[in-house]
Amino acid sequence: MIVRPVTEADLPVLEERWPVPGGVHAGHLRAQQYDGATFLAAWSGEEPAGSAMVQWGGPVGSAAREAFPDAVEINHLQVREEHRGRGVGTAIIAAAEELCRERGRRQVAVGVGLDNDGAARLYERLGYRRTGVVDTSEYDWVDGDGAVHHEVERDELLVRDL
Ligand SMILES: CC(C)(COP(=O)(O)OP(=O)(O)OC[C@H]1O[C@@H](n2cnc3c(N)ncnc32)[C@H](O)[C@@H]1OP(=O)(O)O)[C@@H](O)C(=O)NCCC(=O)NCCS
């Protein structure tokens, strides 16, 4: 399995092999082109297994940004269900941290849903510490039937010094 930044040429492959409604992959690619982010994907051969965004401009949440303005934030981490529990998430985080080191950035942050104990456990095992800094985010997503769902999520920031 390899983890690398997504290119324009990967987009049709991603959309065909990992269909996500709402143009999510294309949106992430645009953010990489225009908004100071890196769109990382993990590939098992030709098969996309997961992805994440690396936000070079720092944490997106206002409380997180205020408390850790110099941190690089990893967000939108997602591993496809059938690929979970095999180290893909760990590999994506390691790749994001390596990019940070290459750019001389020394602090990495992730926001974890207050009810997402599994993900928090994974991050703590990888050296991230809880900070008690919590932000609320709201977003819409579209399911496979085209229905729009509105989510309100409360995330705690976890931080690792590299
Ligand atoms: C959290 C997530 C990215 C982990 O990816 P992964 O490839 O399964 O992770 P790894 O194989 O490297 O590590 C496994 C660890 O992930 C955590 N984990 C969280 N949810 C999990 C799930 N549904 N299946 C397997 N592991 C999960 C566990 O801590 C597990 O460690 P454990 O053996 O101590 O239970 C993945 O489960 C996922 O996409 N979940 C849904 C979206 C999400 O929660 N994203 C994180 C936002 S902060």
Tokens (6 digits) for 101: 């080191």
- Does ligand 1 have an atom closer than 6 angstroms to the CB of 19? no
The residue-averaged pLDDT of 25-37 equals 95
Quick one: CA torsion of 24, 28, 29, 33, rounded to 10 degrees? 150
CATH match of 2-161 with 3.40.630.30: yes
Query: Would you say the C-alpha torsion 109, 110, 115, 120 has a positive or negative sign?
Result: negative
Asked if 76 and 28 count as a contact pair (C-beta separation under 8 A), the reply is: yes
Domain ranges across the chain:
2-161
Using only C-alpha atoms, the chain has a radius of gyration, in whole angstroms, of 15
Write down the pLDDT at residue 14. 96
The residue-averaged pLDDT of 11-28 equals 93
Global confidence as pTM: 0.93
Check residues 146 and 19 and name the one with the higher pLDDT: 19
Tens digit of each residue's pLDDT (9 = 90 or more) over 95-126 = 999 999 999 999 999 999 999 999 999 999 99
- In angstroms, the Cα distances linking 56 to 118, 144, 151 are 25, 31, 25
- Does ligand 1 have an atom closer than 6 angstroms to the CB of 88? yes
Write down the pLDDT at residue 157. 98
Kindly give the distance from the C-alpha atom of residue 122 to the centroid of ligand 1, in angstroms, as a whole number. 7
* Local confidence band at 28 (pLDDT 50, 70, 90 cut-offs): very high
Mean pLDDT for all residues in the chain: 94
- CA-CA distance, 127 to 152, in Å (whole number)? 27
